[in-house]
A and B are shown apart, each in its own frame.
Chain A
Amino acid sequence: MNIVVAMKQIPDLQQVRIRNRQPVFDGVPYTLGLIDKNALEAGLQIKEATGNNLIVVSVGNEEVEETIKEALAAGADEAYLVLDDDLADLESSQSAALLAALIKKIDDIGIIIFGEGSGDNYSGQVGPRVAEILNMAEVGSASKIELTGTTAQITKSLEDADELLEVQLPAVVTVLGDINEPRIASVTQILKAGKKPKEIFEVDDLDIKVPGKSISTISNLAPENDRKRIAVKSVDELVAKLQAEGFVGR
């Protein structure tokens, strides 16, 4: 049985600067989404418990081949990638179509794991969309996954309740950022990661037509900062300000 973990290459958001309210991406390196690393860790824990093979899948520009090394270093056995420099700024429906077609190239799938949302867009759509395309059951917001033969028991953590669910495999699971603490690869593992097998596809190798964009972006700007930015020197002064605003002694 194969464990599949889907990961997204995103710009390192810590390094995106804002100039004239516009995000500036020049020189910003790529990284993997934070919650994607939790998805990988969840997959690795299943791999260790069951002895199964873990395949990481990703879609994007040529840089993905380098970015994905971090996942191979952390313990993924191999990578399946769709690389094409035209695959920039994919929206959820397009990523889902490509990922689903890529995953179809993998035999004997047990579980497909996603993070609940990507680091940059956080729309949380790709996991459920892939499940729909592959006609699989899907459980989101997982805070615990346990494989028991042909089924998985998953704790789905909602805002106000935890549900323990049982689902037939294969299934798609999206995990929460607090499901685990992702491991950090050792130097030896990082050095060996480059030698791990990678299956690289172009869009033409997949049996699909990539859907067109369904969303148009009218503007994307940093919010205006209209704060007063008054420097306060002491707690007494602060209390006076809070009183003046009506927050003290109401």
Chain B
Amino acid sequence: MAGILIYSEKDKLALELLTAGRLIAKDTGLTVNALVLNNDAQAAGLAGKGAEVYKVNDEAILIADTAAVATALQQAMGKLDASVVLLSSNRRGKELAGRLAQKISAGSLSDVSGLQVSGGKIQCSRNALGGATIATQQIDTEKAVIALAARSFEAASEQDGGEVKQLAMDSVPSAIKVIETKSKAGDVVDIQAAEVLVVVGQGVEKDYVATAEKIAKTLGGEIACSKPIATDKKWLPEDRIVGLSGKKCKPQLAIVLGISGQVQFTVGIRDASVIVAVNNDENAYMLQLADYAMVADANEVLTELNKALG
């Protein structure tokens, strides 16, 4: 029987894929193999969690070249008899999903946030219509490429029985040259990891952003924002954006201030355990999506809340 092949260039995401792969394997009887390209540490990490790892060491395979990585995956699928490929739905992974799917004539779904097996088919849930709806879809082609959104599955835990084998590849040419790589150092904060988020939107004035940040720190969390605050006003960096074109977060608590609640935003925060919304417009949709809804000026609430939490 054919199997499942997992691949992500990111170590942590690869461990999440391992969990998802095992979930599918349990209900389908498929076997799970992991492919690792030019990353010995990732291979060892996956093996430590019990994975059957096939490691390729070939510097000619350029991770920056989607076409090259897709070719490598296609070869690995053939060698390991895989029919389902699980990828991470980060920027590289989504791009790879499309290229690989076309190469192997497969249907593909990206940004998948949930999986279940029904009647031998893998059903995937993902946001549709810009996040207004959640679609449950399945791939009907013989081969399938599924890209999973980060944090949709826990990273795999320790398990025995893992091993690392070398896999040889035919040469994979590349049409792309890497001139320079710069890591986005400095203030890279992972708002997806924060347990508490204070999220500011256009109803918050510039002078009060610092107050919101202070409240976030007091509550042990981070400040985040809607898209216009980062891209138009540039009051906060873009890695703080919550929403469809930013990050999808699942904090324990989200305090959402001065945001009307368009779906492009709410898709990034609706999985929070508890939502507080503050808006001076009683018709703001965000208030309906809240556990605690307050019709008030966001700036005044920030000032008072900061004093009260002192």
Interface residues of A (CB under 8 A from B): 11, 13-14, 16, 18, 21, 23, 35, 91-93, 96, 116-117, 119-129, 131-133, 137-141, 153, 156-168, 171, 174, 177-178, 213-223, 225, 227-233, 235-236, 238-239, 241-242, 245, 247-248, 250
Cβ–Cβ contact A166 & B176, under 8 A = yes
Q: A120-B130, A219-B135, A219-B136 are in contact. Are A141 and B91 (CB under 8 A)?
A: yes
Give Cα A11–Cα B135 distance, bound, in whole angstroms: 17
Q: A13-B263, A139-B176 are in contact. Are A227 and B288 (CB under 8 A)?
A: yes
Chain A residue contacts of B109, Cβ below 8 A: 123, 215
C-alpha gap A166/B98 in the complex (Å): 21
Contacts of B292 in A (CB 8 A): 228, 230, 232, 238, 241
Asked if A138 meets B294 with Cβ closer than 8 Å, knowing A132-B102, A162-B184, the reply is no
From B108, B134, B183, give the contact of A125 (CB < 8 A).
Answer: B108
Q: Is the interface of B mostly helix, strand, loop or mixed?
A: mixed
Q: Mark B82-102, 1 if CB is under 8 A from A, else 0.
A: 000000001110111111011
CB atoms of A178 and B231 under 8 A apart: yes
Question: Judging by beta carbons under 8 Å apart, are A220 and B128 in contact?
Answer: yes
B102 x A133 contact (CB < 8 A): yes
14 A-B pairs in the complex with CB atoms less than 8 angstroms apart: A18-B133, A93-B102, A96-B98, A120-B129, A126-B98, A140-B66, A163-B181, A177-B245, A219-B136, A220-B129, A235-B301, A236-B308, A247-B196, A247-B219
Given contacts A138-B66, A247-B252, A248-B219, contact A132 B176 (CB under 8 A): no
- Our pick among A153, A227, A236, A242 for the contact of B290 (Cβ within 8 Å) is A227
- B150–chain A nearest beta-carbon distance, Å: 9
- Cβ 8 A contact of A92, one of B98, B244, B276: B98
> Beyond the given A215-B137, A229-B293, could you list 12 further A-B residue pairs with CB under 8 A, ordered by the A residue number?
A13-B130, A23-B133, A116-B91, A119-B130, A128-B99, A166-B176, A215-B139, A215-B140, A219-B136, A232-B293, A238-B292, A242-B276
Q: Which residues of A contact B222 (CB under 8 A)?
A: none
Chain A residues with CB under 8 Å of B253's CB are 242, 245, 247
Asked whether A245 lies within 8 Å of B101 as measured between CB atoms, the reply is no
B128 cross-chain contacts in A, Cβ below 8 A: 120-121, 220
**B176 and A122 contact, CB distance less than 8 A:** no
Task: Say if the beta carbon of B210 comes within 8 Å of chain A.
Answer: no
Partner among A18, A215, A221, A231 whose Cβ is within 8 Å of the Cβ of B107: A215
* Complex: A216 Cα to B119 Cα, angstroms: 14
Which residues 103-157 in B have Cβ within 8 Å of A in the complex?
A: 103, 106-111, 123, 127-130, 132-141
Q: How far is the CA of A137 from the CA of B263 in the complex (A)?
A: 34
Q: A129-B101, A158-B91 are in contact. Are A235 and B304 (CB under 8 A)?
A: yes
Bound-state CA distance A141–B252 (Å) is: 31
* Chain B residue nearest in CB terms to A118: B130
Residues of B within 8 A of A160 (CB): 183-184, 188
Could you say which residues of chain B place their CB within 8 Å of the CB of A159?
A: 90-91, 184
From the candidates A18, A214, A236, name the one contacting B139 in the complex (CB within 8 A): A214
A122 touches B179 (CB 8 A): no
Q: A16-B129, A128-B102, A219-B136 are in contact. Are A214 and B141 (CB under 8 A)?
A: yes
Does any Cβ of A come within 8 Å of B175's Cβ? yes
- Complex CA distance for A214 and B134, rounded to whole angstroms: 19
Instruction: Assess whether A231 is in contact with B293, with CB atoms less than 8 Å apart.
Output: yes
Cβ contact within 8 Å between B308 and A235: yes
Query: Please, how many angstroms separate the alpha-carbon atoms of A91 and B128 in the complex?
Result: 13
Across the A-B interface, give the 4 residue pairs with the lowest CB-CB distance, nearest first: A214-B107, A128-B98, A125-B98, A140-B95
User: Contact: B262 with A123, CB < 8 Å?
Assistant: no
CB of B238 within 8 A of chain A?
Answer: yes
A140 CB contacts on chain B under 8 angstroms: 66, 91-92, 94-95
Contact yes or no, B177 A166, CB < 8 A = yes
Q: Which of B94, B108, B305 contacts A238 (CB 8 A)?
A: B305
* Contact between chains at A23 and B132 (CB < 8 Å): yes
Q: A119-B130, A160-B188, A228-B292 are in contact. Are A235 and B305 (CB under 8 A)?
A: yes
> Given the complex of chains A and B, what is the CA–CA distance between A219 and B128 in angstroms?
11
Give chain B residues whose Cβ lies under 8 Å from the Cβ of A220.
128-129, 133-136
> Are the C-beta atoms of B180 and A239 separated by less than 8 Å?
no
Residues in A neighbouring B133, C-beta threshold 8 A: 18, 21, 23, 220-223
